[in-house]
Amino acid sequence: MTNQEPNQREGKLRDLLILVPYVKPHQAKLWSAVALMIVSSLVSIALPMFMREAVDTHIMAHDLRGLVSLIAIAFALIIVMTVANILRGRLMAKMGQDSIRTLRDDLFAYMQKLPVQFFDKIPVGKLITRLTSDVDALRDLVGNAIVAMVIDSLRLVGFLVLMFWLDWRLTVITLLISPILVYAMTFLTSRIRKAEDQVREQASLVNANLQESISGIKVIQGFQAEEHFHEQFQVENHSLLQAGMKAIATYAFFWPTIDLAWILSIAAIFLFGGQWVLDGTTTPGILVAFIAYTDQFFGPLRSLSQAYRIIQRALAGAVRIKRIMTTETEVNKNLKPMPKIIGRVEFQNVTFGYDPGEIVLHDISFTAEPGQTVALVGHTGAGKTSIINLLCRFYDPIEGRIAVDGLNIQEHDLESYRRQIGLVLQEPFLFSGTLRDNIRFGAPQATDEQIWDALKTVGLAETFIKNRITLDTILTERGANFSTGQRQLLSFARALISDPRILILDEATAHVDTLTEQKVQQALQKLLAGRTSFVIAHRLSTIRSADLIIVISDGHILEKGTHEELLALKGEYWQLCHSQNIVPVS
Amino acid sequence: MQYLWRAYKLVKNQWGRRALAGLGMLGDSIGLIIIPLITRDVFDSFSSGAPLSESLATVRIGALYLLAIAVVRGFLVYMEIYYQEGTGSYISHDLRKILFKRVLYLPFSFFDTRKTGDLMSILTQDVDAVRDGTGFVIMLIFVNIITFVGVSAAMLMLHPWLTLVVFASFPFLACLAYWYSRKIGPLYQKLQEQSGRVHTTAQENISGIRVVKAFTRQKEEQEKFSGENRMFYELSMKIARLSTFAHPSMDLLGTVSSMIALAAGGILVIRGEITLGTMIAFTNFANTLIWPVRSVGWLSEMFQRAIAGAGRIYQVVDAKDWLEVPADPVVKAVEGEIAFDNVSFSYANGEEAVTSFSLRIPKGSTVCLLGMTGSGKTTIANLLARFYDPTEGSITIDGIDIRSWDLECLRSQIGFVFQDNFLFSKSIRDNITMGREVDESAIQQAIEAAQASRFIAELPQGLDTVVGERGIGLSGGERQRIAIARAILQGPPILIFDDSSASLDMRTEAHLQQALDQLYQNRTVLVIAQRVSTAQNADQIVVMDSGRIVEQGTHEELLAKGGVYAELYRIQSENMSLLVEAEVNPRDQSGA
């Protein structure tokens, strides 16, 4: 694998620059949010000062009017703070969600332009993670962490400054508690995180075990292996319990530690501050303010450590997203469009390999005349699918050229070329959505009438009418609510509607049962008529009627010709035919 | 609710744990009541007018008390969290254990009506919800109640009227918190579903990228994804609008109550009705109570989720065993004679899969069921293995109704090769032995007979190579041969072979036939097939359509009859007849 998952720490701060174009349009919101945040931070820093003021200058001095007006001011400030917080929250949410929605759209759009080669190298799951969790990590950063970091640092500094200003001795004593907080925030949280990771890992093992057992329940029950599976599950389940208890043992330390720090700091304030109040070197109001500050100290610390984690994740996500968005696309705007294809396909000395070091097709040459059907025959891994990959221009040859109607396909616009190609694969790849949308996949303007015609042609119309399936019937994920045969026939209808000039069938009938296959064969004849077609199949009946049969082995063309010509050769093709005839015909 | 209680009762003999958790809870709450009272004494000593040394002593004693409380309370809170969360962990462990065991033994009809995903969400999310509900949620509910009652009582004793004034904003706060949780819960659920749709759209697109590109659908796919992404965005914004309003508002209501305590308390101090210390204690109490009041919302939400989850869990646990257990089950060795007598079967959704099916299979013979997908072949196999019981009619083995056999005894004497050749993510060895203790030589013989030894030898760890979803991928033919080895090793008198999936390449098929010949020897075999070539050698061929028998007989008889089978044979042998024409197969020539 050339594409390795980057390490969490690999991300550099400048990778976050990919966010700039997305955040820029929302600059005004960002700055207003920052301004609002400064306002609310200032209020929250100032509030304990009001308490001191209330106690020392009004209550102790029996100044009722002063107290009432002071509280009135405080009320006004709190309302200002609340409004500022609500507005700031809205602005940030809007900015974060807006910019990240655009980023996600763009990333998906970019992926659509990447060559198939790219998708062959990276597992689907990882690419989906790019579109989901990685993008989400960036959203957390934009919508939350950046701003939270500013505000929380500001608050911490504000607290400290005011505390020193009120009474530096008390501040020093209060800060003596900070090692406990630091211990909880760093050492303890990292241990908790590790323990939780282990729980998560073990939980995913248990879940995988569950999932598999449910999917394979028939085998388990059929082979009387219930006890065995139960025992094995219990082992995993027990490990999960142990991992969980271990995590709890660590986790249970966290809140008591924070609590301990908090109560200890109050005790210290009383012990020393109390004496100083009695000395007259400090005031009761200052003690009140200090208690309020220590109470609020923990919040910003905690959210700062969260922000740190969000930044770590966002960095890792940014690197991976950037890597995708800097991969070269297959789109080239400068090429002329492919004219309407008549159907002459030539492979001229084509050599190809997925990795330059490993050639899978050697010097392949053949010509298909317009309207001809070409059958590709050979064992798994012989190179049949590679020929099709080249013909669809999913890949480009290393040497040689592929010409359609005498035009090199590499020198023409990809989209206008592919628009004229139809592809039916072994796995039909239907999409969740209505039946209609699935069939007119390649021809969005097709009418319902045309769709029903196509369904009739592939022999599905009758069954569908009988079972009250309409064009609005929803296909569940990958068309799971249709049988394999029906799915394959649907993919035929899909190809038929798009009316391609060149048609490619890659083992399209492999999953279809024999009786259905008979229907498929008839549909196939209609599908193949009047188009240049390439067929990969195991069934002889499909191959036999081809105008040209190409036998491939280890990336070389061994034999070329019609069915009769090749049988007469008594070579590889003859052998293959022989091997399929397992049971003698009486 | 009674289900949650049932779940909670799972943890037997854990009274020690729970007593410790309760003790911890009490300590937690009492601490929250005592601290403001100490604060009160300390502040009162500042203006008590007592001698300095006395005041100083009060302050120091207060500080020492706090020190002691800090340490003791730390221990108690640790105990509270550890034991209560631990109880939750034990409960989820026990629930998973019970559920899994239940799932393993559930009849097939149960799985027909439920998707794997739904069952999984019961086994994971609902179990987690119950764990939380019986763990920290219940703990917090109790702590909050004790704290609230205790603190209110302390406040009322200090000054009843001031208490009421400080409480003024609490009903609003509680209502707001409750309203918010009720609203936000369903929204989050919707967001999760929408996130699933975004995920599915991306997954379909990426796995089908060849099709997308071949049909030049990039633009439409982009629009589709963009649409789902927009829905996701709109839901996120809805949540953001709600939460950015609710949280600051709750903060406001909380701050208001401590401000009221300060203002009203301050006025009372000035009037000389209460001391400064009492006023400060009041503001502290007000602060302490904000959290329990605010948590009303999300705790009730989580508790309800736990109740709902427990309900779904016990639906599975209490699921009825549809298969009746005979009073005096037959346990003996199976000879292998099978008879279906007028068997009909309908699935739970009312769809009739088999109608009046009668068939006798003599001991040691091979019967091939032939028919299209959905003709009822697989249902017949499922009925024979008693994965379901027939709606009407009966099935007998050796003349004994299979409902009278001991299920375990019966199934252990029926071997299976299933259609999908399901393999577990375990070693090939485990997949073949299915957990039984078996001789190495027996395994070797089985894989030899199944023609699997060659490709297994080529695998990196041989028999110990892990296959399946989380292991290395095998081809359809290889998987089927492992499944055959599994059946051979079991060595059952009756064998059910579902061969209706067939995407093997030509050479593999030839190899397979040899494996099958091994498998069929000395057994009563029920083969489910689609290819005539598989059927030809059977002692009896049964052609099915829409759950009924259409034709029945030997290959020759059915050919002579000129019905469906003969037509099938004609179609399929067309593939081969060309070889006869070309006169390449000497065997065909001699047979013609």
Q: Is A280 on the interface with B (CB under 8 A)?
A: no
Written as six digits, the tokens of A140 are: 């957390």
Q: What value does the mean pLDDT take over residues A418-422?
A: 87
pLDDT attached to residue B589: 30
Closest Cβ–Cβ partner in A214, A425, A478 for B103:
A214
Q: What is the ipTM of this complex?
A: 0.83
Written as six digits, the tokens of B582 are: 């070309």
Q: Which residues of A fall within a CB distance of 8 Å from B201?
A: 432
pLDDT attached to residue A69: 92
Task: Tell me the pLDDT tens digit for each residue of B140-179.
Answer: 898 899 999 999 999 999 999 999 999 999 999 999 999 9
Pairing mode of beta strands A433-434, A474-475: antiparallel
Asked if residue A552 belongs to a domain, the reply is no
Whether residue A146 sits in one domain with residue A205? no
DSSP-assigned letter for residue A585 = P
- Spell out a b/e string for A117-131, using b for 16 or more CB atoms within 10 Å of the CB, else e: ebbeebeeeebbbbb
Can you spell out the DSSP letters for B319-330?
A: ----SPPPSS-B
CB-based contact A425 B39, cutoff 8 Å: no
Q: 3-state SS of B31-95?
A: HHHHHHHHHHHHHHHHCCCCCHHHHHHHHHHHHHHHHHHHHHHHHHHHHHHHHHHHHHHHHHHHH
Written as six digits, the tokens of A442 are: 């390649």
Which strands form B548-553's sheet, in the order they lie side by side?
B414-417, B494-498, B524-529, B366-370, B540-545, B548-553
Higher pLDDT, A14 or A287: A287
Higher pLDDT, A139 or B513: A139
Distance CA A563, CA A443 (A): 35
Half-sphere exposure of A70 (CA within 13 A, CB side): 26
Q: Which one, of B287, B172, B276, lies nearest residue A67 by Cα?
A: B276
Distance CA B129, CA B4 (A): 10
Whether residue A56 sits in one domain with residue A77? yes
Higher pLDDT, B572 or B426: B426
Q: Which residues of B fall within a CB distance of 8 Å from A131?
A: 198, 202
CB-based contact A86 B60, cutoff 8 Å: no
Distance CA A455, CA A494 (A): 9
- The torsion region of residue B341 among left (phi > 0), alpha (psi -120 to 50) and beta comes to beta
CB-based contact B63 A132, cutoff 8 Å: no
DSSP-assigned letter for residue B137 = I
pLDDT attached to residue B163: 93
Asked if residue A504 belongs to a domain, the reply is no
CATH number of the domain that A160 lies in? 1.20.1560.10
Q: Is A252 on the interface with B (CB under 8 A)?
A: yes
Whether residue A121 sits in one domain with residue A51? yes
Whether residue A65 sits in one domain with residue A180? no
Q: Is B322 on the interface with A (CB under 8 A)?
A: no
| Cα angle, residue B32 at apex, residues B28 and B38 outer, rounded to 5° | 130
pLDDT attached to residue A107: 94
Q: Which residues of B fall within a CB distance of 8 Å from A260?
A: 70-71, 73-74
E strands within A178-256? none
CB-based contact A431 B204, cutoff 8 Å: yes
Range ranked top by mean pLDDT from A215-219, A342-346, B478-482:
A342-346
pLDDT above 50: residue A7 = no
Confidence of residue B230 (pLDDT cuts 50, 70, 90): very high
Q: What value does the mean pLDDT take over residues A420-429?
A: 83
| Cα angle, residue A237 at apex, residues A236 and A241 outer, rounded to 5° | 115
Q: Is B501 on the interface with A (CB under 8 A)?
A: yes
Confidence of residue B228 (pLDDT cuts 50, 70, 90): very high
Whether residue A326 sits in one domain with residue A225? no
Half-sphere exposure of A146 (CA within 13 A, CB side): 20
Written as six digits, the tokens of B202 are: 């991306």
Q: What value does the mean pLDDT take over residues A43-57?
A: 89
pLDDT above 80: residue B571 = no
- The torsion region of residue A336 among left (phi > 0), alpha (psi -120 to 50) and beta comes to beta
Q: Would you give the distance in Å from CA A166 to the centre of its chain?
A: 52
Asked if residue A434 belongs to a domain, the reply is no
Whether residue A268 sits in one domain with residue A137? no
312-371 of A, contacting B, C-beta below 8 A: none
Whether residue A236 sits in one domain with residue A137? no
Distance CA A422, CA A439 (A): 13
Residues of the domain holding A222: 168-281
Q: What value does the mean pLDDT take over residues B11-40?
A: 85
125-184 of B, contacting A, C-beta below 8 A: none
Task: Tell me the pLDDT tens digit for each residue of B448-470.
Answer: 888 888 888 888 888 898 887 66
Whether residue A238 sits in one domain with residue A190? yes
Share of chain A above pLDDT 70, in %: 93
For chain A, the straight-line distance linking the first and the last C-alpha, in angstroms and rounded, comes to 52
pLDDT attached to residue A8: 46
Q: Is B49 on the interface with A (CB under 8 A)?
A: no
Q: Which contacts (CB < 8 Å, 24+ apart) does range B279-283 have? A: B279/A59, B280/A55, B280/A288, B280/B36, B280/B39, B280/B40, B280/B43, B281/B36, B281/B37, B281/B39, B281/B40, B281/B43, B281/B158, B282/B36, B282/B155, B282/B158, B282/B159, B282/B162, B282/B166, B283/A51, B283/B258
Q: Which residues of A fall within a CB distance of 8 Å from B86?
A: 245, 248
The interaxial angle of helices B506-520 and B476-490, nearest 10 deg, is: 10
Written as six digits, the tokens of A367 are: 């010509």
CB-based contact A223 B434, cutoff 8 Å: yes
Q: Report yes or no: A573 and A559 within 8 Å, Cβ to Cβ.
A: yes
Give, for B300, the enclosing helix (H) or strand (E): helix B296-317
Whether residue A127 sits in one domain with residue A205? no
Q: Which one, of A160, A152, A141, A81, lies nearest residue A300 by Cα?
A: A152
Asked if residue A227 belongs to a domain, the reply is yes
- The torsion region of residue A499 among left (phi > 0), alpha (psi -120 to 50) and beta comes to left
Whether residue A188 sits in one domain with residue A162? no
Can you spell out the DSSP letters for A351-419?
A: EE-SBTTB--EEEEEEEE-TT-EEEEE--TTSSHHHHHHHHTTSS--SEEEEEETTEEGGGB-HHHHHT
Q: What value does the mean pLDDT take over residues A253-268?
A: 90
pLDDT attached to residue B502: 53
102-121 of A, contacting B, C-beta below 8 A: 104-105, 108-109, 111-113, 116, 119
Confidence of residue A149 (pLDDT cuts 50, 70, 90): confident
pLDDT attached to residue A579: 61
Whether residue A238 sits in one domain with residue A201? yes
Written as six digits, the tokens of A149 are: 């970091």
Written as six digits, the tokens of A526 are: 């209609």
Asked if residue A350 belongs to a domain, the reply is no
CB-based contact A207 B124, cutoff 8 Å: yes
Q: Is B203 on the interface with A (CB under 8 A)?
A: yes
Give the position of tokens 């303890």.
A188
Q: What value does the mean pLDDT take over residues B530-539?
A: 76
Instruction: For chain A, give the mean pLDDT.
Output: 85
Instruction: For chain B, give the mean pLDDT.
Output: 84
User: How many structural domains compose chain A?
Assistant: 2
pLDDT above 90: residue A106 = yes
Helix (H, G, I), strand (E, B) or coil at A501: coil
CB-based contact B507 A579, cutoff 8 Å: yes
Give the position of tokens 């959290």.
B291
Asked if residue A560 belongs to a domain, the reply is no
Q: Is A268 exposed, middle or buried (0-12, 13-18, 19+ CB in 10 A)?
A: buried
Task: Tell me the pLDDT tens digit for each residue of B47-91.
Answer: 877 788 888 898 999 999 999 999 999 999 999 999 988 888 888
Q: Report yes or no: A307 and A148 within 8 Å, Cβ to Cβ.
A: yes
Which residues share a beta bridge with B361?
B338
Confidence of residue B109 (pLDDT cuts 50, 70, 90): confident
Give the position of tokens 């330390």.
A253
Q: Report yes or no: B540 and B554 within 8 Å, Cβ to Cβ.
A: yes
- The torsion region of residue A294 among left (phi > 0), alpha (psi -120 to 50) and beta comes to alpha
Cβ–Cβ pairs < 8 A, chains A and B: 431
Q: Say if pTM beats, i.e. exceeds, 0.95.
A: no
Q: Is A418 on the interface with B (CB under 8 A)?
A: yes
Q: Which one, of A466, A470, A468, A505, lies nearest residue A489 by Cα?
A: A505
Half-sphere exposure of B527 (CA within 13 A, CB side): 26
Angstrom CA distances, B195 to A136, A137, A569, B136, stand at: 11, 14, 59, 28
Helix (H, G, I), strand (E, B) or coil at B416: strand
CB-based contact B591 A585, cutoff 8 Å: yes
Half-sphere exposure of A56 (CA within 13 A, CB side): 17
Asked if residue A464 belongs to a domain, the reply is no
Written as six digits, the tokens of B219 are: 């633009």
Written as six digits, the tokens of A531 are: 């188009």
Written as six digits, the tokens of A102 are: 């655009």
Q: Is B537 on the interface with A (CB under 8 A)?
A: yes
Whether residue A188 sits in one domain with residue A157? no
Domains and CATH numbers, chain B: 2-159+274-317 (1.20.1560.10), 417-491 (3.40.50.300)
CB-based contact A113 B218, cutoff 8 Å: yes
Q: Which one, of B91, B181, B93, lies nearest residue B136 by Cα?
A: B91
pLDDT attached to residue B580: 30
CA distance A312 to chain B (A): 23
Asked if residue A95 belongs to a domain, the reply is yes
pLDDT above 80: residue A103 = yes
